[in-house]
Amino acid sequence: MIPITDTDSAASSPVSAPKERLPRHVAIIMDGNGRWAEQKGMPRIEGHRRGVEAVRSAMEACRELGIEVLSLYCLSSENWKRPKEELDFLMALLCEYLIGERDNLVEKNLKLRILGRQDRLPPEVQAEIKRTIDACAQNTGMTLCLAINYGARAEIIDACKSLMRDVASGQLNIDDIDEEHLDARLDTSGLPEPDLLIRTSGEMRISNFLLWQISYAELWVTDTHWPDFDGAKLNEAVRDFSRRKRRFGGL
């Protein structure tokens, strides 16, 4: 039995659940940074800065629970429509996070994986991504996936193009293509599918995140804006997940 305790909230009672009742892969749409800042009379960018603290809190809570994979939606391919000032800040903040968190990821035995098309990211961001991935290469613990310049439709298109190239070159028979072949070409190849998808800030949308992978994920939405999301909230979501009965289309 795995004890699930709200370490950030003494009023919440601990819950015990068999390990098989816990999610292997938790995916989070981190929403509400800007709204959090605006409600407090702060610039939007301050919400993003405070959101980094929530990333650390969620990461540590998942690690303590024995979650195998944590995927965080950091920047969608649609977010490039935002003001340049905000995007420049996000890129600088990402570099700051990768540099500042690198030793902690190594110490905590976490692996790092990036989801999304990295070629559009500034060279300095790509360089820090590579350095952090390399630093974590020998780690064997939880995998942290950061979705940066990510869009699920683009990911699926890229996977289909990869399969088509192999068919055209004669390496693959078109009639042999199945779900496993496509899954192997996705950014999440080799990882378990998300069992639990969390969205903060109360929005009831998937927003083009892991569309293929979340086919049977349990959804959990909270009105809490991302900067206020902490280990207690993560445990609340996992506790709720552990009580659900997953049928996968059966009875």
Q: Which residues are catalytic?
A: 31, 79
Cβ(192)–Cβ(26) under 8 Å?
no
Rounded CA separation 95/82 (Å):
19
How far apart, in Å, are the Cα atoms of 169 and each of 70, 99, 120, 174, 218? 36, 41, 28, 11, 39
Contacts of 140 (CB under 8 A, 6+ apart): 109, 111
How far apart, in Å, are the Cα atoms of 228 and each of 56, 79, 99? 12, 22, 23
Nearest CA to 125 out of 148, 104, 102 is that of 148
